[in-house]
Amino acid sequence: DSGVTQTPKHLITATGQRVTLRCSPRSGDLSVYWYQQSLDQGLQFLIQYYNGEERAKGNILERFSAQQFPDLHSELNLSSLELGDSALYFCASSAGLGNTGELFFGEGSRLTVL
């Protein structure tokens, strides 16, 4: 158990819909990262938050957004969903910016868009 909790574990929805994925980091971790894992793209970094502020941005679509709340949990919002958004979305956390880079991953949220 990594200590990172993601909900929901599975989600099935239709094209055009909007979903929210939730992540609770390990206790004390200030950084939260979102990754998308798909068969054709592999593990792609989406976005990182540190203590409530956006720190780094990767290949995140404009239809996607994220935030980190004062209690440090994070949400990833996916809107106007397309079939190609079907993937496993991972949240990871780490202690902070100055750490040695080790990330702790949740078990992921599997999104299926029909």
- Contact residues toward other proteins (CB under 8 A) are 2, 4, 31, 33, 42-43, 45, 48, 50, 55-56, 58, 90, 92, 94, 97, 99-108
Q: Please answer whether residues 89 and 33 qualify as being in contact, where contact means their C-beta atoms are separated by less than 8 angstroms.
A: no
Rounded Cα distance between 59 and 45, Å, is 6
Nearest to 49 by CA among 31, 26, 65: 31
For the CB of residue 80, give the shortest distance to other proteins in the complex, in Å: 25
For the CB of residue 33, give the shortest distance to other proteins in the complex, in Å: 6
Query: Smaller CB distance to other proteins: residue 61 or 79?
Result: 61
Query: Smaller CB distance to other proteins: residue 75 or 107?
Result: 107
For the CB of residue 101, give the shortest distance to other proteins in the complex, in Å: 4
Query: Smaller CB distance to other proteins: residue 38 or 79?
Result: 38
Query: Smaller CB distance to other proteins: residue 17 or 99?
Result: 99
For the CB of residue 114, give the shortest distance to other proteins in the complex, in Å: 21
* The one-letter amino acid at 35: Y
Q: Please answer whether residues 35 and 45 qualify as being in contact, where contact means their C-beta atoms are separated by less than 8 angstroms.
A: yes
Q: Please answer whether residues 4 and 105 qualify as being in contact, where contact means their C-beta atoms are separated by less than 8 angstroms.
A: yes
The label of the residue with tokens 């995140």 reads 60
